[in-house]
Amino acid sequence: MNKAQLVEAIADKVGGRQQAADAVDAVLDAIVRAVVSGDRVSVTGFGSFEKVDRPARYARNPQTGERVRVKKTSVPRFRAGQGFKDLVSGSKKLPRGGEVAVKKAPKGSLTGGAAATVKKAAAKKATTAKKAVAKKTVAKKTVAKKTTAVAKKTTATAKKTTAKKTTATAKKVAAKKTTAKKATAKKAPAKKATAKKAPAKKSTARKTTAKKATARK
């Protein structure tokens, strides 16, 4: 039986061929996705599908007998349920066409499973939201720390620059005062020299007066 024949077999039970095809596709897709993600799909009375990891190993090529290394891989595995095994072995009789061969799930189990799935999904969302909030909080704290550090560095740089400018200005003012004092000190001796030369003129005048007095006599 292939997929098309399977759809035809259940078409009358689900209300039409299109509905049967959609149902088969949905069931198979859900099983494949669950097994790929590592979940175990178990159907009561039918069997279970699961993912099995096979470690790296050595094998032999059946044609050449050469030893070949096989890489680590994962494969899907199906384990038939006990009810399925009993029907195939003949220890139990297969129900008639109108009855379901697979054992039905207990009442409330499907609802409980759905509720559990919803709870798990809600828990995952809550955990994801908490992690996102925690990451945002850490990011905000980091930004605040960086901003504070930059502000401190800027303030320290500004203080150093102001101190340097003040020191340079003070040095310039001190240099100007020193230069002015030196210039004043150099000019002072010139005045004294002029003051000393003045008596020399008086002596000359006295000599001239003495000569005039002698000539008169």
Whether 6 contacts 15, CB under 8 Å: no
Which of 36, 74, 39 lies closest to 54, judged by CA?
Answer: 74
> Which pLDDT value is given to residue 127?
67
Q: How far apart, in whole angstroms, are the C-alpha atoms of residue 47 and residue 76?
A: 13
Q: How far apart, in whole angstroms, are the C-alpha atoms of residue 65 and residue 43?
A: 41
* pTM check: above 0.85: no
Residue for token pair 């044609």: 63
Read off the pLDDT of residues 28-84 as tens digits, 9 standing for 90 and up. 999 999 999 999 999 988 999 999 999 999 999 999 999 999 999 999 999 999 999
> Which pLDDT value is given to residue 119?
53
> Which pLDDT value is given to residue 59?
92
Can you list the residues of the chain whose pLDDT is less than 70? Answer: 97-99, 103-129, 132-134, 137-139, 142-144, 147-148, 150-151, 154-155, 158, 161-163, 166-167, 180, 182-217
Domains in the chain (CATH in brackets) are: 3-118 (4.10.520.10)
Q: How far apart, in whole angstroms, are the C-alpha atoms of residue 114 and residue 125?
A: 17
Would you tell me how many other CB atoms lie within 10 Å of the CB of residue 80? 14
Q: How far apart, in whole angstroms, are the C-alpha atoms of residue 55 and residue 71?
A: 7
> Which pLDDT value is given to residue 145?
75
Residue type at position 114? A
Whether 37 contacts 50, CB under 8 Å: no
Strand partners of residue 127: none
Measured distance between the N- and C-terminal CA atoms of the chain, rounded to whole angstroms: 174
